[in-house]
Chains A and B, each alone.
Chain A
Amino acid sequence: MSKFFSSPFLVFSSAIALRIGLFFYGLWQDANSPMKYTDIDYYVFTDAARFTAHGHSPYDRETYRYTPLLAWMLLPTTWSSTWFSFGKVLFAVGDIVAGWLIIMVLRSSNKMSMERALKFASIWLLNPMVATISTRGSSEGLLGVIVVALLWAITQKKIVLAGFLLGFGVHFKIYPFIYAPSIIWWLDDEQLGRSKPAKEGEGSDLVSLVKNFINGPRITLTISSLLTFLSLNTLMYIIYDYPFLQHTYLHHVTRIDHRHNFSPYNTLLYLSSSIPDPSPTAIKLESLAFIPQLFLSAVALPILLAKKDLASTMLAQTFAFVAFNKVCTSQYFLWYTIFLPFYLPTSTLLSRPYLGLSAAGLWILTQALWLQQGYQLEFLGNSTFVPGLWVSSLLFFGVNVWILGIICSDIEAGTAPVITKPEQRPLRKKKEVKVKAKGKGKVSVLDIGICR
C-alpha cells in the first residue's frame, strides 16, 4: 500500500484508469439501456452548445443557468456523435489537473512528502464519487479545478493569475466570491515575507492600520479579479443581453422551484411560497436566510481563520455556505470535497478516529435518513414532507454545523505545529500533534466534538 502511494505514476494511472473505465462504462450503458448514465445537466450543456453553434443564444435551451463560456467550451460536442462526449473528457481531465494542483500545494505550502501528499490527494483523485460525477458530465468538477488553481496561484504569490481565477470562478458559479475576503485577509505582510512594523506603537492608530492593510498585492488581486469578473460579464451581456443576467444570476435570487433538497429551509420555502401574499408587514423568515450564511462564510470565518490556514479556511467557508444555503443537493458536496486534502492532515477527525468516524457516520446516516424519506415521497408518493423530510434535513444541518465547529477549532489548533516544526511533519505521530495542538494539554481525548 505504501509502495502504491509513493509512486505518483501509480496514483495518477489509477485515477486516470478509474475515469477511463467509468467513461466507457457510461458509453456502454447509454447505448444499451433506457436508463442513462449521462447526467441530465450534460444534455442541457450540449443542447446549449448546439444552439451556440448555430448562432443562437445558449439560453434558448430551457434550464441552462450557466455562463455562456461553458457552452462555448463544449462547442466540440456539436461536431459529431463521437465528439459528443468531449465534455466528459474535459471534466475528467479537469479532475486530474485539480488532483495534481492539490499535490503541488500540499508539497509547497504544507511541506509534505510526496507519499503523504499523494495519500491525501487521493481523497480527490481516487474518490469514486468525484470520478463518477465528472464522467457523467456534470460541470461541478470544473469548479474544483478553478478553485484549487486559485489556491495554488495565491500560495505561489502569482497574484494576477489568482485574481483572474477568482473573477473567472465567480463569473462561472457565483459562490467562489466567498474566497475573496479570506484571500485578501490572508495576503498580509507575514505571508508576503515583509518585515512587520518595527516599533510596537506604530501600527495601532486607525490610519496606519488601514495604510498597512492596503498593500500592493491586495490591490493587485482586487483589481485583477474585479476586472476579470466585470469584463466577462460585460462581454456576455453585450452578446446575450438580459437572458444572460436572468438565467446566470437573477434566477438564483428569484427561484421558487423548491423541490425537496437537503437544505434546512426547504420545507419552510415550500410552505411560504404557496401562501399568496401574506400581510405586507410580516417579515418572510426565509428572506433573512442569507444573513447567517454570508456572515459565516464571507465575514467571520475568513477574518478569524484565514491567516491561520488559508486552505482549511476555504473548506470551512464552503462548508458553511453549503450547509446554510437555501438549496442544497449532493453535487454541492463536491465544492468542499476538493479542500479535504488540505484540512484532514491536521484534523482531529483523523487524529481521533472515534471522532472522525462518528462525524462521517452521522453525516452519512442523517443523509441516508433524508434519502429514505425522499424516496418515499418521490417514488412511492407518500407525503413525507412533515415530519420526515423536514426533521431529517434539520438533523443533517445539525451534523453539518457540529462538524463545522470542529473544523474551526482544528484550524486554530492545527496552525501551531505546521509553522514551528515543518520539517518533522511527515514523521510525527498523530497523538503528539493533538497534544501540541491542544496547547497545554488541558483537553482530553474524550471531549469529542466540544469546541474549545
Chain B
Amino acid sequence: MRQRITYLQDPQNAVDPSTLQITKDSISRKDLKAAREERITFGFDELPQELYRVLKASHELHIRWVSEIPYESITPLVSRLSPGIHVFYTPQRGSNASDLLCPLLKKVFGEIDCMSPEESFTTLPTERFSHSTAAQYYSPLSSLGDLQTYLSHKLCPASDNACHSRVSSLSAASTLDVSFDTISHALTLSAFFPSTTSAVSISKPATSSPSRLEVGILSFETPLEPEELSLSGFLTVVGEDTKPSPTLFSFPSRHHPSTSFFTSDFLLPTGLHPTLSLSISDATPPLDDRKCTLHTHLTLPRQLFIDKYQLSDPLFLSSKNISALHYISSPVDLEAPAYTLKTWGSSALLELSPPSSSSKEWTAEIPLHLRYLPPNYGQAGKKETQIPYPILFWACTADEGSKFGVNPFDRVNLGYDGLFGPRTLFFHLSPKPEGGKLVCPLSVPVLDLDRSGLVEVGTAAVVALGFAWVVWCLVGVWRRSGFGSGKERVEGEKKAN
C-alpha cells in the first residue's frame, strides 16, 4: 500500500516548513489552510476477493464520483465532471465475468440502476483515440455513505481507529476516483477535499506489510509555458525524512483552470421539451495565440435526451448560440418512454458559439426532450427530477511537439477527453449554481394515478358504446337493404307503385 497526501495551497497561504512537526512516523501542524488530495494505491493482494475478481476481468476500470455540492477546484486538480457516479470500463478481452461488475457497484455504492454492462452501459468511440475506454455508465449519486460503510467493513481492521476516521472523513470529499488498469496492476483510490483550515496530523499506519506514505505541501507558481503547470513547496516521506525537502517542478498538463464561470438551469415553463440554458460570464478565450473553442459536455440520465437530427440545421443552431453537436452516445431512442429503456442515458458534446469580442455575460440554449415517466400517486401528476450540472471548458490546441506524459496529478478517461486529439488543452469553467447544488431540477408532467381510476373502465365503455352504435346502424342497413346494391329493392318498389 502506498499513500500520497498532497496539500494544495494558494500562494499567499504558503507556510514556513519549519512550523511542521516531523517525527519518525508522523507529521503534524496546528493548522493549515489548504485543499487536499489523498491517494492510496493498493496491490492486488490487499483487496477483498470480490473486488479482485471484477478487476481481474477488467482491462480498464475508472469509477469517478463527484459531489452535488459545489466546490472550488485548485491547480492542478482542475478537471471537472458532472456530479454523480461515472463508470468507464473496458472488459478484459475474452472475459465473461463482466456480469459481476454491476452487482459489485450496487454493493459498494448503493442502489444504482445498473443491470449489466451489456444492457446498462453505452459504448464510447474507441476508434479515434486509443486512450478511451469501451463503455460508459452514469448514475446520480448524492453521497458516498454506502461506500464508507463498505470500506469500513472490508478494508479497515476492526481495531484500526485511524482507518475508520479516514473513511468517515470521506463525507467531506468533493470527488473520488477509483482507477484500475491492467498495465499498472494496481488499484488507485484518490479523493479530493476542498480548501479548509484544519489541523494536520498524519501518522503512518502500523502494518506489517511494506507501505509508503508521502506528504506534500504545494502551491502553484506562474508557469513559463501555457501548456505547463508549475508547483513549489515541500515533500516529506514519513518515516524516511526527518525534515521536509523543498521542491519546485513544472509539467505539461491537459487540464487548466479558467477564470470564467457559468450558471445552468431550465427555462420555464419546461413542458415536454425543456430548454437548458447556460449563462456564461464572458466570451474571452483563455489563450489569445491559440485556436480555442468553447464546449459543453452533457450527461443526460435517460429521462431526457437530445435529438441529434434537430441539431443539424445551422440556422436553428445559431439561434441557440450553438456551433455544432460534435458527439452523442448512440443509439438514442427518440420515442421510447423512460421506463422501457435499460441504458443509463446519453452523453453529448456540443460546441458553443460565443459572441465575438465580448466580455459581457451571454447565454446558450440546449434544446432537450423529455420521455414519458412512470405514472405516480399523490404528486398531482408531477414528477420532480433533475439532471446533473453540465461541464463547460475551452478546448485549445497545444503547441506542436508538446507531450502530455503521465504527470502526478493527471486524470484521463473523463468521457470527453477521448473525443479530442491528444494535443488538446482543457480550460475548465467553474459552475456557480443558483440553487446551491450542482443539479438542474425540473418538474415533469406524468399520469396522475389518483385520478386515473376510471381510465380502463371508461375507455372500454366508450369504445364499446361507439362500436355498438355503428353496429346498430349497420344492422338497420342490413335489415332494410341487405348486402346487395339496393337496386333490386328500388326496382321492386317501383313495380309495386
Chain B residues in 8 Å Cβ range of A415: 485-487, 490
Report if A305 contacts B (CB, 8 A).
yes
- Which of B269, B313, B460, B478 touches A34 (beta carbons < 8 Å)? B313
Q: Are B443 and A385 in contact, CB atoms less than 8 angstroms apart?
A: no
B123 to chain A minimum Cβ distance, whole angstroms, is 16
The chain B residue sitting closest to A301, CB to CB, is B474
B198 to chain A minimum Cβ distance, whole angstroms, is 45
B3 to chain A minimum Cβ distance, whole angstroms, is 47
Q: Are A383 and B487 in contact, CB atoms less than 8 angstroms apart?
A: no
Q: Are A385 and B381 in contact, CB atoms less than 8 angstroms apart?
A: yes
Q: Are A43 and B309 in contact, CB atoms less than 8 angstroms apart?
A: yes
Report if A194 contacts B (CB, 8 A).
no
Report if B158 contacts A (CB, 8 A).
no
Report if B481 contacts A (CB, 8 A).
yes
Report if B406 contacts A (CB, 8 A).
no
Given contacts A304-B477, A412-B477, contact A271 B340 (CB under 8 A): no
Q: Are A267 and B474 in contact, CB atoms less than 8 angstroms apart?
A: no
Rounded to whole angstroms, the CA-CA distance of A439 and B280 in the bound complex is: 77
Chain B residues in 8 Å Cβ range of A385: 381, 445-448, 452
Given contacts A259-B335, A383-B445, A390-B455, contact A378 B272 (CB under 8 A): yes
- Which of B337, B467, B474 touches A274 (beta carbons < 8 Å)? B337
Given contacts A385-B445, A405-B469, A409-B476, contact A285 B485 (CB under 8 A): no
Stretch at the interface among B25-33, B372-380, B411-419: B372-380
B128 to chain A minimum Cβ distance, whole angstroms, is 20
Given contacts A308-B481, A397-B462, contact A380 B271 (CB under 8 A): yes
Given contacts A36-B313, A308-B485, A386-B447, contact A412 B480 (CB under 8 A): yes
Report if B206 contacts A (CB, 8 A).
no
Chain B residues in 8 Å Cβ range of A47: 309
Given contacts A383-B448, A412-B486, A419-B490, contact A271 B470 (CB under 8 A): no
Chain A residues in 8 Å Cβ range of B481: 308, 412
Rounded to whole angstroms, the CA-CA distance of A144 and B445 in the bound complex is: 37
Contacting residues of chain B (426-484) with chain A, CB-CB under 8 angstroms: 443-448, 451-452, 455-456, 458-460, 462-464, 466-467, 469-474, 476-478, 480-481, 483-484
Q: Are B456 and A268 in contact, CB atoms less than 8 angstroms apart?
A: yes
Report if A292 contacts B (CB, 8 A).
yes
Chain A residues in 8 Å Cβ range of B334: 62-63
Rounded to whole angstroms, the CA-CA distance of A258 and B460 in the bound complex is: 18
Instruction: Kindly name the residue among B340, B444, B447 whose own CB sees the greatest number of chain A CB atoms within 10 A.
Output: B447
Contacting residues of chain B (98-155) with chain A, CB-CB under 8 angstroms: none
Rounded to whole angstroms, the CA-CA distance of A289 and B460 in the bound complex is: 9
Report if A387 contacts B (CB, 8 A).
yes
Q: Are B484 and A271 in contact, CB atoms less than 8 angstroms apart?
A: no
A376-404 interface bits toward B, Cβ cutoff 8 Å, 1 = contact, 0 = none: 01111111111100100010011011101
Chain A residues in 8 Å Cβ range of B476: 409, 451-452
Given contacts A63-B335, A190-B485, A265-B459, contact A397 B269 (CB under 8 A): no
Chain B residues in 8 Å Cβ range of A63: 334-335
Report if B53 contacts A (CB, 8 A).
no
Rounded to whole angstroms, the CA-CA distance of A255 and B334 in the bound complex is: 12
B111 to chain A minimum Cβ distance, whole angstroms, is 17
Chain A residues in 8 Å Cβ range of B464: 292
Rounded to whole angstroms, the CA-CA distance of A377 and B373 in the bound complex is: 13
Report if B315 contacts A (CB, 8 A).
yes
Rounded to whole angstroms, the CA-CA distance of A398 and B309 in the bound complex is: 37
Chain A residues in 8 Å Cβ range of B319: 34
A33 to chain B minimum Cβ distance, whole angstroms, is 7
Q: Are B315 and A33 in contact, CB atoms less than 8 angstroms apart?
A: yes
Report if B52 contacts A (CB, 8 A).
no
A29-41 interface bits toward B, Cβ cutoff 8 Å, 1 = contact, 0 = none: 0011110100010
Q: Are A267 and B452 in contact, CB atoms less than 8 angstroms apart?
A: yes
Rounded to whole angstroms, the CA-CA distance of A449 and B479 in the bound complex is: 19
Q: Are B474 and A383 in contact, CB atoms less than 8 angstroms apart?
A: no
Residues of B within 8 A of A (CB): 269-273, 309, 312-313, 315-316, 318-320, 331, 333-337, 339-340, 372, 374-375, 380-382, 443-448, 451-452, 455-456, 458-460, 462-464, 466-467, 469-474, 476-478, 480-481, 483-487, 490-491, 494
A and B contact pairs by CB, cutoff 8 A, 6 listed: A36-B316, A307-B485, A378-B272, A390-B455, A451-B472, A452-B480
A308-B481, A379-B269, A401-B469 given. 19 additional CB < 8 A pairs?
A34-B320, A44-B309, A256-B337, A264-B462, A274-B375, A285-B456, A305-B477, A383-B447, A384-B445, A386-B448, A387-B451, A397-B462, A401-B470, A409-B476, A415-B490, A416-B486, A451-B476, A452-B476, A452-B480
Residues of A within 8 A of B (CB): 31-34, 36, 40, 43-44, 47, 62-63, 185, 190, 255-259, 264-265, 267-268, 270-271, 273-274, 276, 285, 289, 292, 296, 300-301, 303-305, 307-308, 320, 323-324, 377-387, 390, 394, 397-398, 400-402, 404-405, 408-409, 411-412, 415-416, 419-420, 451-452
